[in-house]
């Protein structure tokens, strides 16, 4: 494992922890898109179906469990534990407009037509757009809490670092996965505007807002 993949994993882990701690400590999920969290739970469920059938390393298995557990824990906090604080009136992104096209694309463009490979491909495509409901929620409400922007920053940083990881693997391991790279580029592009606002506003102590 190269340093960029490790840094990406740690950034992803930091994003999950930041979000869980934010919701638990504030006893509120205000400003958090439950729909994005459901999509992430679906991403990890379909990607890690091999959790109990294919062992690569303790690290690999542990991270899979953390990603799945963290996503479902977040969904539970939003839709059960702190349901009264969930802003469903603004979290109105039509996720079927993401799931249906992604599902169709995963059947058309994949490495192999086996069920597990199609579901893995589905998870890669879906992850690239799963943050859209969250960004849509922020644009609709007009601003985001600082802790929420930190969560989004580390989530975007994770994907950006993974792109560097793919470049590293291409040059030093002769490994290249076009599906993962293209999906990663799409996901990183979606964060570009947010990254700019994060650096110019949040790090200077100002509240972040996205254009409606």
Q: What is the pLDDT of residues 50-91, one digit of tens each?
A: 887 888 889 989 999 999 999 999 999 999 999 999 988 889
CA-to-CA distance for 74 and 37, rounded, in angstroms? 7
- pLDDT computed for residue 199 by the predictor: 60
Model-wide pTM > 0.85: yes
- pLDDT computed for residue 52 by the predictor: 79
Residue with tokens 């506003």: 201
**Number of DSSP helices (H) and strands (E) in the chain, helices first:** 8, 0
The backbone torsions φ and ψ at residue 107, rounded to the nearest 5 degrees and listed phi first, read -80, -30
What digits encode the pLDDT tens for the residues 16-53?
Answer: 999 999 999 999 998 899 999 999 999 999 999 888 78
- pLDDT computed for residue 117 by the predictor: 92
For residue 207, give the DSSP letter: P
Indicate whether 169 pLDDT > 80. Answer: yes
Burial 199-211 (b: 16+ CB within 10 A, else e): eebbeeeeebebe
Residue 176 or residue 208, greater confidence: 176
Indicate whether 184 pLDDT > 80. Answer: yes
Could you tell me the pLDDT band of residue 189, with boundaries at 50, 70 and 90? confident
Q: Write out the DSSP string of 174-212.
A: ----HHHHHHHHHHHHHHHHHHHHHHHTGGGTPPB----
- pLDDT computed for residue 67 by the predictor: 95
The two tokens of residue 188 are: 């990183």
CA-to-CA distance for 165 and 159, rounded, in angstroms? 10
């Amino acid at each position: 494992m190269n340093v960029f993949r490790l840094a990406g994993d740690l950034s992803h882990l930091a994003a999950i922890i930041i979000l869980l701690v934010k919701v638990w400590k504030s006893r509120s999920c205000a400003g958090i898109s439950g729909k994005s969290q459901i999509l992430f739970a679906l991403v990890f469920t379909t990607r890690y179906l091999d959790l109990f059938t294919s062992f690569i390393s303790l690290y690999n298995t542990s991270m899979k469990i953390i990603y799945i557990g963290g996503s479902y824990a977040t969904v539970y906090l939003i839709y059960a534990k702190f349901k009264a604080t969930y802003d469903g009136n603004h979290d109105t992104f039509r996720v079927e407009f993401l799931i249906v096209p992604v599902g169709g694309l995963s059947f058309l463009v994949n490495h192999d037509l086996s069920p597990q490979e199609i579901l893995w491909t589905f998870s890669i495509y879906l992850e690239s757009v799963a943050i859209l409901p969250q960004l849509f929620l922020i644009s609709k409400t007009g601003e985001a809490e600082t802790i929420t922007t930190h969560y989004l920053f580390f989530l975007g940083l994770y994907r950006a670092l993974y792109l560097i990881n793919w470049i590293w693997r291409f040059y030093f391991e002769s490994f290249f996965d076009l599906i993962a790279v293209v999906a990663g580029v799409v996901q990183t592009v979606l964060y570009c505007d947010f990254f700019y606002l994060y650096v110019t506003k949040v790090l200077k102590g100002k509240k972040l807002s996205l254009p409606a």
